[in-house]
Amino acid sequence: MSISYVINKNQGGISLNYITLNNGTKMPQLGFGVWKIENKNMPAVLNNAFNTGFRSIDTASVYENEEGVGEGIAKSNISRDDLFITTKVRNKDHGYDNTLKAFEESLKKLKLDYVDQYLVHWPMPQVDKFIETYKALEKLYTEGRVRAIGVCNFTDEHLSRLMDECEIIPTVNQVECHVYLQQQKLKDFCQKHNIFLEAWSPLMQGEALQEKIIKEIANKYKKTAAQIIIRWHLQNKTIVIPKSSTSSRIAENYDVFDFELDNDSMDRIASLDKEKRQGPHPDNMNILE
């Protein structure tokens, strides 16, 4: 897999770390997740995130906070060209026409002319409409309404079928990924097809911060457990989107570019994998929301 990095790109004194997606689009490898952040709180939270250095924001229709994201972007003094905004098709909107309509609604809520990345949130194999849903994303991409398209929570089987029946290879596959669910088999499959793996719940909603090995490595580097885990994701060439609404933790999650884990530390973290999920397996997700 060919990976291109722009290290320590300077924008107003802020260090950024970019990867190059398979269509040539640059995307910050470290982004900011906004799941469960309410619309009323979003502008203040995004202001903290932007001031810290985050430029990639990951939302979704089902989060019901796209309006807040749009307001936060509008209130910022950051050029639109410097932002990377991702949103997603919710389960109830699967289908070609439904997806096109849902995209227009998301765009209106975000107050944007385009989004940088549009993703299918879940494959929903029981509904079996993810092919036509993705074909709607292809139309939007071809029309220039989105800069990149991809998927979330797809297994290698789902991806294989999608690549057989659709034209454009997804840029990313955003899946649950953390030290207890490292997804190496899926990552190998994605890398073979030049698809980046993107980690949601990268800190396992805080559970992984209590892991003894992580604490020992954090002590070794004089960093926090969260910083060790985020750094591990980055060195594994994974896109990572930690979420917090607390200004101190937002700053902590971004402060990961001044150190590098050695091979021993990386191997110790690799030993923690036990295929433990917090969320549902993609084949079992059947919530139409």
Which residues are tagged catalytic?
63
CB 235 within 8 A of CB 261: yes
Q: Which residues contact 176 (CB under 8 A, 6 or more apart)?
A: 153, 183, 199, 200, 201, 277, 278, 279
The 3-state DSSP class for residue 148 equals: strand
For residues 61 and 155, give the distance between their C-alpha atoms in angstroms, rounded to a whole number: 22
Q: Which residues contact 71 (CB under 8 A, 6 or more apart)?
A: 39, 42, 43, 111
Q: Letter for the amino acid at 96?
A: Y
Residue 130 token pair: 């993810």
